[in-house]
Chain A
Amino acid sequence: MSLTFRGGIHLPENKNTDQCTITRPREPAYIRVPMSQHIGLACIPVVKPGEVVSKGQLIGENNNGLSACIHAGIAGKVLRIESAINQNGRRDDYIVIENDYSGAVSPDIKPCEKKISELSSDEIIDTVRRAGIVGMGGATFPTHAKIKSAIGKAQKLIINCAECEPYLTANHRLIAENAKDIIYGAKILLKACGVTTGYIAIEDNKPDAIADLKKLLKGDSLLSVKVLKTKYPQGDERQLIYAFEHKELPAGKLPSDLGYVVFNAETCFAVYRAFSTGMPVTERVVTVDGDCIVNPGNVIVPIGTPFSDIINFCGGFSKRPDRIISGGPMMGIAQWDENAPVTKGTAGILALSKDMYHREIPNCIHCGRCVGVCPMHLMPCYFAAYSKINDYESCDAFGVKSCVECGCCTYVCPGNIPIIQYIRIAKSKLTQKK
């Protein structure tokens, strides 16, 4: 009996790359590293144009509030610091580094000498903060802040390997190839949060990874594997906690209020790396897929690598892409520039050819399918209807602020209505009014 939640959809999985080992393409000629790759304040560049940086060197930080440090993913010369529009449509500073292919590693990079048992919570938090670790699933919440918020409150820790978005297999491959390291990272996080029960939550469409983990965790007192039913959006931490606990996380509360803390699998891997080699987050695993890619696969690339380099490494386009998406097909962001850089939250690059819309005039036929699939139990059709006539107060009355923008409603809508777009408009207007 797999754990699950109410609502949601079993999407066509399209996990075409789940047997593609993670490969490392040749380093790009240059990288463009944006300064806000996390939730919180943007970093301020600490290097100047003309400076020579080495791999793992700190290039951006902000100590005035919630933030996560940014490091150079390659060795080379800082060409310029430019201001440009980032993936989310906001203006951002980019540090452009030209690769000198020397491969020099920063002298600050040292593995942690102590054993896990000797580490204190504060030491771990400090190492995690200096390594610039964020939620690598795509939410990009700074991990050191999450650990802090969980201390004393959380009794259970979940490692999220649900990976419920179609196409994406980066977490799956990471577990298949580095299960030991992820478990090691998870134990460091357990120690940091002062928690003694940890679960690795994984969807039942990854049987090989489940078998590996079960073998490794046999007789483990701290960690165990929990199998979840494959259903989107199982990876949302609210739905994860519901599947475990059958308790709904009240609106505006954090998982730690229910005694849980949730980390992504790749975040654990980043923690492991920060302790075993001392290397901060300078690279990440990206799934490259979609029907326009010649050789889909999983690659590990420095943060700041342009999409076009990765796509070329994967054989380029087989046909003209209709859209290029950063992230998964349900919540990812369509890119207008094929040279957009990989950031800490980029779990996938998809090039899709088919225009998804039915090419019909959008009309709500009040069928109620969106109501049935909404994992937050809302009525999306009314958000669309009210938002369309600028009645944002009614959207609020119907609970638009609880929407997590998972996209289920828009996916099933036979009337072809861009419901999520209407919801985003309503949310932003409501925020402005405050």
Chain B
Amino acid sequence: MNSDLLRISSSPHIKHEDSTRVIMTDVLIALVPAAIWSVYAFGYRSVTILLVSVIFSVLFELLYQLIMKKPLTVTDFSATVTGVLLAFCLPVTIPLWMVIIGDFFAVVIVKQLFGGIGRNIVNPAICARIFLFVSFPGAMSSFVKPESSLSAFALTLKPSDIDAVASATPLAMLKQGQFPSESLLDLLFGKNAGCIGEVSVLMLLVGAIYLLVRRVITWHIPVSYILTVAIITYFFPRNSITIEFMLNELLTGGLVLGAFFMATDYVTSPATPNGRLIYGAGCGVLTVFIRYFGGYPEGVSFAILIMNLFVWYLDRYTKPVRFGGDPK
């Protein structure tokens, strides 16, 4: 017999192959279609923004952990996902240095200072987006028409270049009580002005189906979120044609991106099925409220940010009844 040491550990002795890295890789794969569409819609500048965002997210995580002498976790790809998601909700005209500031805020302030992966209380990408939004409202709300040629590598774009192709987002039109100039099909395919990754609802849905099939996300949050928005906008429209208005609200403003990719972020969403349903419904109500009565045309990121703060309570109060009932 051999005299090699045997490993002793607590049971179980087998493990499912899914690790955090596998899950994050799945999320990245699911984001690919929308990323490809962003290149088609906004040109190579969106590739630059995506790359800058990912590289600096990972870099900031690495630097922070090296400086703070913490174990390195960049290999779990969570910072990569944060980088992609942040880039997805930025306009293509944004100066690159703002992207870097956003990455720093997302990875270092929101995630690492709270204790790293799994310990942040709000979604880093969403929070960084809102940080940029309130810090640089001008740059964050200058949108351009798709298929407009912008310089791919310019650190900042000339205002005159932006003005030449500037366009209002569908949501801004809805805010003023009008229908957007694009047809519903255009909104579905993503031929409207908006952030890099949010415009093509179709491509996002392809990725979302992949995530659902791979069981990375469950249906609870996206379904309850989108259903809530649909119900409220159908019964309380800001316009006379209810169905069309409802569909416009659903296909714009990053709702699909938010519902499938941002609100379902594991760390900042409840772990119980009922908690997820309530959380999704809460996001839906807040989204519509902010869109209707808020100062900004869009409400998805604010809604998710606010609901993030309720996750612990939702988990706590939607605890499943244990097998055999709770002891009296």
- List residues of A whose CB falls within 8 A of some B CB: 11-12, 166, 238, 242, 248-253, 308, 317, 320-325, 329-338, 350, 352, 355-358, 360-361, 363-368, 371-372, 375-379, 381-382, 398-399, 402, 405, 407, 410-416, 418, 420-421, 424
Contacts and interface: CB of A to CB of B under 8 A. Distances in A.
Given A366-B267, A367-B266, A329 B14 contact: yes
A358 B271 CA distance: 22
Interface stretch (B128-136, B163-171, B314-322): B314-322
B20 interface: yes
A325 B9 CA distance: 10
A410 B10 CA distance: 10
Given A251-B325, A329-B13, A323 B266 contact: no
Contact of A421 (B10, B271, B327): B10
Contacts of B322: 251, 376-378, 399, 402
B128 to A, nearest CB: 19
B266 A365 contact: yes
B266 A248 contact: no
Interface string B273-310: 10010000000000000000000000000000000000
A345 to B, nearest CB: 14
Given A323-B9, A336-B8, A411 B16 contact: yes
B6 A352 contact: no
A11 B267 CA distance: 26
A357 B18 CA distance: 11
Interface stretch (B35-43, B71-79, B194-202): B71-79
Given A361-B71, A365-B20, A366-B118, A411 B271 contact: no
Contacts of B23: 365, 367, 414
Contacts of B320: 371, 377-379
Contacts of A12: 14
B240 interface: no
Given A250-B324, A338-B1, A366 B10 contact: no
A253 B328 CA distance: 13
A332 B1 contact: no
A375 B323 CA distance: 7
A381 to B, nearest CB: 6
A335 to B, nearest CB: 7
6 contacts: A238-B324, A248-B323, A250-B325, A352-B14, A412-B16, A418-B10
Contacts of B270: 368
Given A322-B7, A323-B9, A368-B218, 15 more contacts: A166-B14, A251-B325, A320-B2, A330-B13, A332-B13, A355-B7, A360-B21, A360-B76, A365-B267, A366-B269, A366-B271, A412-B16, A415-B118, A420-B12, A421-B9
Nearest to A401: B327
Contacts of A367: 23, 266, 271
B12 A410 contact: yes
Nearest to A358: B19
A381 B6 contact: no
A412 B271 CA distance: 14
The secondary-structure label for the interface of chain A is loop
A300 B319 CA distance: 46
A336 B319 contact: no
A365 B117 contact: yes
B20 A330 contact: no
Given A317-B2, A402-B323, A323 B8 contact: yes
Contact of A376 (B11, B268, B323): B323
Interface residues of B, number: 48
Nearest to B217: A367
Contact of A410 (B7, B15, B266, B276): B15
Contact of B14 (A308, A411, A416, A424): A411
B272 interface: yes
A288 to B, nearest CB: 15
B8 A331 contact: no
Given A331-B12, A350-B13, A365-B267, A251 B324 contact: yes
Contacts of A366: 118, 266-269, 271
Given A320-B2, A338-B6, A414-B23, A249 B12 contact: no
Given A367-B266, A411-B15, A377 B118 contact: no
Given A248-B323, A249-B324, A331 B71 contact: no
Contacts of B323: 238, 242, 248-249, 251, 375-378, 402
Closest 5 CB pairs of A and B: A368-B271, A407-B12, A421-B10, A358-B19, A356-B15
B324 A330 contact: no
A363 B72 CA distance: 12
Nearest to A332: B11
Nearest to A307: B1
B9 A251 contact: no
Nearest to A333: B11
Nearest to B272: A371
A8 to B, nearest CB: 11
Nearest to A321: B6
Contacts of B95: none
A325 B21 CA distance: 28
Contacts of B276: 368
Given A379-B315, A381-B271, A253 B324 contact: yes
Given A332-B11, A336-B6, A415-B118, A379 B16 contact: no
A106 to B, nearest CB: 32
B18 to A, nearest CB: 5
Contacts of B71: 361
Contacts of A361: 71, 73
A252 B269 CA distance: 33
A210 to B, nearest CB: 26
B154 interface: no
A251 B218 CA distance: 30
A416 B19 contact: yes
Contacts of A379: 271-272, 315, 319-320
Nearest to A248: B324
A242 B325 CA distance: 13
A294 B266 CA distance: 43
Contacts of A410: 10-12, 15
Given A371-B320, A399-B326, A416-B19, A405 B11 contact: yes
